[in-house]
Amino acid sequence: MPTAEPPDNRPEHARHEYREASDAEAKALASGLRLKILRLTLDEPLTNKEIADILDLAPATALHHVRRLVQTGFLRPGEARRGARGAKEIPYRATGKSWYVSTPVGVHSMLDAFIDEVGKSAEHEVEMTRLGLRLSDADLSEFRERLYALLKEMHDRPRDADGERVSVFVAIHPDTSAPPRP
């Protein structure tokens, strides 16, 4: 007699497997504006009009980006509802899938979204550090594994509806400030 799969008790946002992005997914994540939409809809569903208002966009522009995110599975439409004037509204919510998709494009879109978010924060609210390291290949590999394991652990925890909303941006890159070695 076949046995049933055990239930997946991970939070919904953690039910994806890490993988390379398809071309369509990579293109969807290559837009800083789409990354902002995903961040806005991470904890609460928003309609296209609400997204457009928050981001100061024309509703048609917001809808174009929302549709691209829905087509690639990064946003999920909720149940249609009636708005204040009786119009049909569809709320959208981020699926959490973007965390599990690796894409070679999007570095600048991530930086643009990060700079925009940090720019809207008071200086005393932003904790940042910057350091240069000189690591062997093995140490760099260990550093990456441990760092991403911690980020994944925190991401996969159930979301606390009353918890403080924070964003984390991590970049590991070659140190271009030093002169090249002979």
- Map out the domains of the chain as residue ranges: 12-124
Residue numbers in the chain where pLDDT is lower than 70 = 1-18, 104-106, 182
What per-residue confidence (pLDDT) applies to 66? Answer: 97
pLDDT at 8: 55
> Quick one: pLDDT at residue 1?
45
Q: What pTM was estimated for this model as a whole?
A: 0.71
CA pair distance 46, 140, nearest whole angstrom: 40
Per-residue pLDDT of 35-69, as tens digits, reads 999 999 988 999 999 999 999 999 999 999 999 99
Q: Give the separation between CA 101 and CA 19, rounded to whole angstroms.
A: 5
CATH number of 12-124: 1.10.10.10
Q: For the chain, what is the mean pLDDT?
A: 85
Q: What DSSP line would sit under 68-123, residue for residue?
A: HHHHTTSEEE---EE-TTS-EE-EEEE-SGGGGEE-SS-HHHHHHHHHHHHHTS-G
